[in-house]
Each structure stands twice: as structure tokens, then as C-alpha cells.
């Protein structure tokens, strides 16, 4: 199972949230398990999303998804 480590901030001047994602590709779906470490402490989240492999590779799709997830304003599942 591929793993992606990265970090992203919630917005300008916000502290970084580090993440580690294990993911697998099944057709046009990515199943993932992510761990987050930010100023609010650790958290984790599992889920899946669809992507179009004709337009983006799986690793890039996971990275973009995590950055979008971290930047969300509602913070219902990410730290």
C-alpha cells in the first residue's frame, strides 16, 4: 500500500498540519487512511474518493485531496 507524507497549513499564517496517508487504488476510487498531527493534537480519518486516472495520477490526487481536507473551514474530521 503506497504511503504519502506531507504538510499543509489551514491558511495564511496558520501552523502546519502534518499528515501521513496510506492509500490504495481500486479502479477509479482511492481508499485512504490518514493520520494528522497539528497544533490541536493528533487525529485520523478513513474514507474514499473518486478520481479520474486519465487526468491525474493517484499520488497527486491524494495530495490534493489532503490539502483540500486540511484547508476546510468546518474541521469536522481533520485536526
Grid-cell match 491524494, residue found:
62
Kindly tell me if the per-residue pLDDT of 78 is higher than 50. no
**What pLDDT, in 10s, does the model give residues 4-38?**
999 888 777 778 889 999 999 999 999 999 998 87
- What's the pTM value of the predicted model, to 2 decimals? 0.82
Residues forming beta bridges with residue 47, ordered by sequence position: 32
pLDDT reported for residue 65: 94
Domain boundaries, the chain: 3-71
Of 40, 39, 33, nearest to 66 by C-alpha is 33
Kindly tell me if the per-residue pLDDT of 76 is higher than 70. no
Average pLDDT over residues 67-75: 72
CB distance 59 to 2 below 8 Å:
yes
Amino acid at each position: 500500500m503506497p504511503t504519502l507524507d506531507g504538510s499543509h497549513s489551514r491558511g495564511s499564517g496558520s501552523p502546519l498540519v502534518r499528515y501521513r496517508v496510506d492509500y490504495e487504488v481500486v479502479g477509479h476510487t482511492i481508499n485512504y487512511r490518514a493520520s494528522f498531527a497539528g497544533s490541536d493534537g493528533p487525529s485520523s480519518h478513513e474514507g474514499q474518493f473518486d478520481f479520474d486516472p486519465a487526468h491525474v495520477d493517484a499520488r497527486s490526487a491524494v495530495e490534493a485531496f489532503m490539502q483540500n481536507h486540511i484547508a476546510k473551514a468546518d474541521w469536522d474530521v481533520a485536526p
